[in-house]
Amino acid sequence: MNKYIYADNAATTQVSERVLKAMLPYYKERFGNPSSIYSIGQEAKDAVESARQIVASYLNADMDEIYFTSGGSESDNWAIKGIAYQMGKKGKKHIITTKFEHHAVLHTVEALEKEGFEITYLDVHEDGIIRLDELENAIRKDTALVTIIYANNEIGTIQPIEEIGKICREKGVIFHTDAVQAVSNVPIDVKSQNIDLLSLSGHKFHAPKGVGALYIKRGITLEKLIHGGAQERKQRAGTENVAGIVGLSVALKEACDNMEERNKRVVAMRDKLIDNLLKIDKSRLNGHRTKRLPGNVNMSFRGIEGESLLLMLGAKGICASSGSACTSGSLDPSHVLLAIGLPHETAHGSLRLTIGGDNTEEEIDYILKEIPSIIENLRRMSPLWEKIIKEEN
Q: Is residue 51 very low, low, confident or very high in pLDDT (cuts 50, 70, 90)?
A: very high
Q: How far is 353 from 310, CA to CA, in rounded Å?
A: 11
What percent of the chain has pLDDT above 90?
91
Mean pLDDT of 277-296: 97
The answer to whether residue 326 is catalytic is: yes
Tell me which residue of 83, 95, 194, 81 sits closest to 140, measured CA to CA: 95
DSSP string, 202-213: GGGTTSPTT-EE
Q: How far is 350 from 287, CA to CA, in rounded Å?
A: 12
Residue 387's pLDDT is what?
83
Distances (CA, A) of 384 to 96, 285, 310, 337, 387: 38, 20, 18, 19, 5
Residue 195 above 80 pLDDT?
A: yes
Mean pLDDT of 122-138: 97
Residue 329 above 80 pLDDT?
A: no
For 361, residues 6+ apart whose C-beta sits below 8 A from its C-beta are 269
Q: What is the CA radius of gyration of the chain?
A: 22
- Spacing of C-alpha 216 from chain mean position: 18
DSSP 16: P
Mean pLDDT of 178-182: 98
Question: How does the average pLDDT of the chain come out, rounded?
Answer: 95
- Spacing of C-alpha 56 from chain mean position: 19
Residue 333's pLDDT is what?
83
Distances (CA, A) of 306 to 16, 101, 182, 267, 383: 30, 21, 25, 24, 15
Q: How far is 328 from 307, CA to CA, in rounded Å?
A: 9
Q: How far is 159 from 162, CA to CA, in rounded Å?
A: 9
pLDDT digits (tens, 9 = 90+) for 133-158: 999 999 999 999 999 999 999 999 99
Residue 323's pLDDT is what?
65
Report which of residues 3 and 168 the model is more confident about.
168
Residue 292's pLDDT is what?
98
User: Do strands 66-69 and 212-216 pair parallel, antiparallel, or not at all (unpaired)?
Assistant: antiparallel
Mean pLDDT of 348-377: 96
pLDDT digits (tens, 9 = 90+) for 199-232: 999 999 999 999 999 999 999 999 999 999 999 9
Q: How far is 147 from 191, CA to CA, in rounded Å?
A: 17
Q: How far is 38 from 152, CA to CA, in rounded Å?
A: 45
pTM of the predicted structure, to 2 decimals: 0.95
User: Do strands 318-319 and 5-6 pair parallel, antiparallel, or not at all (unpaired)?
Assistant: parallel
Residue 331's pLDDT is what?
60
Residue 327 above 90 pLDDT?
A: no
β-strand partners of 197: 176, 216
- Are 78 and 222 contacting, i.e. CB atoms less than 8 angstroms apart? yes
Residue 330's pLDDT is what?
54
Amino acid making up residue 191: K
Residue 392 above 90 pLDDT?
A: no
What letters, b where the CB count within 10 A reaches 16 and e where it falls short, cover 117-149? beebbbebeeebbbeeeebeeebeeebbbbbbb
pLDDT digits (tens, 9 = 90+) for 54-101: 999 999 999 999 999 999 999 999 999 999 999 999 999 999 999 999
3-state class (DSSP) for residue 149: coil
